[in-house]
Amino acid sequence: MPASILHRRYRFGDVTTDYLGDDGALDRLAGRLGRRPAVAVVDRAVARLHAARLEAALRGADGAPLPRLVVAGGEAAKSVANLERVWVWLAARRLPRDGVVVGVGGGAVLDLAGFAAATWRRGVEFAAAPTTLLAAVDAGLGGKTAVDLGALKNPVGAFHAAANVLVEPSLLGTLSRRDWRCGLAETIKAAVIGSVPLFRDLEARAPDLAGLLARGRADRPVPDVLDLPWAAWIDGAVGVKGRLVARDYREAGPRRALNLGHTLGHALEIQLGLAHGEAVALGLAAAARLAAARGTCPRRDAERIVALLAACGLAVTAAAPPRRATAALVAGDKKVRGGEPRWVLPRRIGAVDVDARVDLDDMLASLAG
């Protein structure tokens, strides 16, 4: 892993986001906090697996350790009850208006900590330290923060971009095979939306990815996985997302491209009880096959998308869930305009259509393969 490959700066709404992605990234935290009071909301798995690294890095400019609230990771982290827990804790710490909330963890803990930062004293600065591939390429960047409400995903949230995103690739070494697969689903999604070179790089390493990720227990770490060029791939995917969000922070147009695979994916995530990335992979594969069948995406490109997802050990077909329930979930999705859901479909590798009208029956037929 190169020592320092990535320092990007984006303007998202009224926030400037510095994205640092190298193995010393977390050590820059103290300098970026300066003398402001700061607290950290930390994913329990990371607190346990990387205790020494966090102990060294989660400090203020005066060298004092940051107060820490440890929360269990996973989707359950994004509950209103947990949010209240964070607020109560912030109140006990008396975090002032010029304070900073630092989130350390996967996308779930970052969404929770980011929303707490967005709402605490009407908004304090947020810093994100993503520790999953999915959070490094997607959830940690772009300002969307949210919690779930019962079965509804992300209905309560705010745009509140982190001023600093600090990614330490070596922390990813403890991720399970399932988490790598999920992160790759979003990485491949980013490549399909806007980076032919990233797609080609991933494709060139597909045999290695297949060797490392397609087999073996889903809940286990993956030996030798850090030998792959993750830092470069993260850079490629972040470049796609960062460009889109900088153009369209509040998702009036181009940012909708990032929803590729998500309209069906969110419905599948709920109905089939899948992890977010697993559902996105199915949604992306179905969208690619549908676009090829309509003649709006070259068949060869659709096949390459599906093959790359499959090489990463991601499922690319599923039996269609009940139509009525799926239709209700799709209709309740945020991407509905004028009463009609709009879908994102690939036009080719590297470009998408963000405003497609799709018959749900056709999409469900494509899901089955």
Ligand X SMILES: NC(=O)c1ccc[n+]([C@@H]2O[C@H](COP(=O)([O-])OP(=O)(O)OC[C@H]3O[C@@H](n4cnc5c(N)ncnc54)[C@H](O)[C@@H]3O)[C@@H](O)[C@H]2O)c1
* Cβ–Cβ under 8 Å, residues 342 and 251: no
Work out which of 6, 30, 57, 111 binds ligand X, going by CB under 6 A: 111
Under rule CB under 6 A, which residues in 122-181 are in contact with ligand X? 131-132, 134-135, 138-139, 142, 144, 171-172, 174-175, 179
State how far the Cα of 43 lies from the Cα of 103, in Å rounded to an integer.
8
The reply to whether 39 sits near ligand X by the rule CB under 6 A is: no
Tell me which residue of 286, 289, 309 sits closest to 300, measured CA to CA.
289
Site map (CB under 6 A) of ligand X, residues 181-210, x = contact: -x----------------------------
144-149 vs 152-159, strand pairing mode = antiparallel
* Cβ–Cβ under 8 Å, residues 126 and 162: yes
Name the DSSP letter for residue 37.
-
DSSP assignment of 313-359 equals T-----PPPPHHHHHHHHHTSTTEETTEE-EEEEEETTEEEEEE---
38-43 vs 68-71, strand pairing mode = parallel
Residues 259, 269, 289, 304: which is the catalytic one? Answer: 259
The reply to whether 49 sits near ligand X by the rule CB under 6 A is: yes
Strand-pairing partners, residue 345, are: 353
Residue 160 catalytic?
no
The reply to whether 108 sits near ligand X by the rule CB under 6 A is: yes
Smaller CB distance to ligand X: residue 32 or 177?
177
Smaller CB distance to ligand X: residue 82 or 301?
82
Closest approach of ligand X to the CB of residue 215, in Å: 20
DSSP assignment of 209-251 equals HHHHHSSS-TTSB-TTGGGS-HHHHHHHHHHHHHHHHHH-TT-
Residue 255 catalytic?
yes
Closest approach of ligand X to the CB of residue 301, in Å: 24
The reply to whether 239 sits near ligand X by the rule CB under 6 A is: no
**Residue 240 vs residues 232, 334, 369: alpha-carbon distances, Å:** 13, 21, 28
Residues 186, 203, 269, 278: which is the catalytic one? Answer: 186
Smaller CB distance to ligand X: residue 266 or 289?
266
Classify 11 as helix, strand or coil.
strand
Site map (CB under 6 A) of ligand X, residues 276-305, x = contact: xx----------------------------
Q: Determine the length of the chain.
A: 369
75: amino acid identity, one letter:
E
Residue 189 catalytic?
no
Residue 335 catalytic?
no
Residue 243 catalytic?
no
Smaller CB distance to ligand X: residue 103 or 346?
103
Residue 7 catalytic?
no
Q: For the chain, count helices (H), then strands (E).
A: 15, 13
Smaller CB distance to ligand X: residue 103 or 341?
103
Kindly list the catalytic residues.
122, 144, 186, 241, 251, 255, 259, 262, 266, 276
Residues binding ligand X (CB under 6 A): 43, 45-46, 49, 73-75, 78, 105-109, 111, 131-132, 134-135, 138-139, 142, 144, 171-172, 174-175, 179, 182, 276-277
